[in-house]
Homo-oligomer: A and B are copies of this chain.
Amino acid sequence: MDTRQVVLGVDIGGTNTKFGLVDRQGRCLAAASIGTESHHPAERFFGRLQEASRQLLGSLAGDRVLAGIGIGAANANFYKGTIEHPPNLDWDYVDIRAEVRKLSPVPVAVTNDANAAALGEMLFGAAQGMSDFIVITLGTGLGSGIVANGELVYGADGFAGEIGHTTVFPDGRLCGCGRRGCLETYASATGLCRTVHELFCNTNTPSELRGVSFEKMTSKMVYESALREDPIALEAFSVTGRILGMKLADSVAYLSPEAIIVSGGLAAAGDLILEPTRRSLEQHVFPIFRGKTRLLATRLAGGNPAVLGAGALIWNVLEKGPKTPGTGRGAGPDFPGSPEAAPRPDAL
């Protein structure tokens, strides 16, 4: 492999898009961000991204070569290279692969942010050397990426890995997706705040959070209250972990992963969330799996996990070749030129 090669990892978020140049060792050599501005057409966004990436690549020392572009975004589809009805963007449908191909001839791969996170952990993080594991991202919602037999599971349509939308309690909390009782209505930043309010209703326990409105409350506030040993905040973390652990016992029954790796904003709460989750997982898991699956915190947290994940996505594609996982469900990632023919810095 040409050691000068780097890839561009891009994480398209609702407000900002982060991107960085990632080498094969998982080092983010340079990173920057631009506003996503999805109220403008997507074409304009990709033009700005090209311009900013070109500057970033020019800023690197040495004679670096761009080998590929990996892009993570909500509701992105690996097989089709599209974003479809993203919940956090004004664009309804974007053919990302086609947009990038207008601007650059290097290989492009696209997937959702949680799948990118899983590949990031596999190549650079806590899942190195594992071939069966699950990554859970606890943010506004709950995303997940599943790796089995060393391959990311995309499913028949490219959208597999929606553990956040499995049912905990039939007829439970209404979810943004229209269903009831989805795991992400309990185990996520917003789920935590909902649980705080449920505890307000169901107990008389005093709490410094009782003065905060539903609208204003954030998981960060709950975290900070928990650090001050606010009983409701502590209990909310405990309940959240209990429910998450119970459902991760289901995940183990499905996939018997070597580890479940927790990342995302809420994972920053560390053992406040991990300890009750771990206890509940062990309590609820099918006996033959007891003591087998490790619950780990992300090892990408120090860096730029979403950018590293998107970088891992395209590194993984470059190494395993352009084959489509599964059969006959779309063209898979684009290989307009081989990595060897990758353009010099000024081509992106």
Contacts and interface: CB of A to CB of B under 8 A. Distances in A.
Interface string A230-262: 000000000000000011011101111110000
Interface string A109-134: 00000000000000000000111100
Contact of A289 (B151, B157, B257, B258): B157
Contact of A155 (B158, B159, B163, B257): B257
A163 B254 contact: yes
B157 A253 contact: no
Contacts of A337: none
A311 to B, nearest CB: 22
Contact of A161 (B155, B168, B254, B284): B254
Interface string A213-245: 000000000000000000000000000000000
A161 to B, nearest CB: 7
A150 interface: yes
A246 B148 contact: no
Given A148-B148, A286-B162, A156 B258 contact: yes
B149 A288 contact: no
Interface in A162-198: 162-163, 165-170, 177-179
Interface of A: 75, 84-85, 129-132, 146, 148-151, 153-163, 165-170, 177-179, 246-247, 249-251, 253-258, 284, 286-289, 292-293, 325-327
B132 A155 contact: yes
Nearest to A243: B170
B284 A167 contact: yes
A54 to B, nearest CB: 35
A322 to B, nearest CB: 15
A287 B178 contact: yes
A146 B254 contact: yes
A165 B166 CA distance: 15
Contacts of A165: 253, 286
A292 B249 CA distance: 26
A85 B166 CA distance: 31
A129 B255 contact: no
Contacts of A178: 287
Given A149-B326, A254-B163, A156 B170 contact: no
Nearest to A259: B156
A129 B327 contact: yes
Contacts of A254: 146, 160-163, 166, 251, 254-255
16 contacts: A132-B155, A132-B160, A148-B149, A148-B155, A149-B151, A149-B326, A155-B256, A156-B258, A158-B256, A160-B255, A161-B256, A165-B286, A166-B254, A177-B286, A179-B284, A254-B255
A156 B326 contact: no
Nearest to A325: B149
Contacts of A156: 130, 132, 256-258, 292-293
A73 B161 CA distance: 30
A247 B131 CA distance: 26
Contacts of A132: 153, 155-156, 160, 326
B325 A163 contact: no
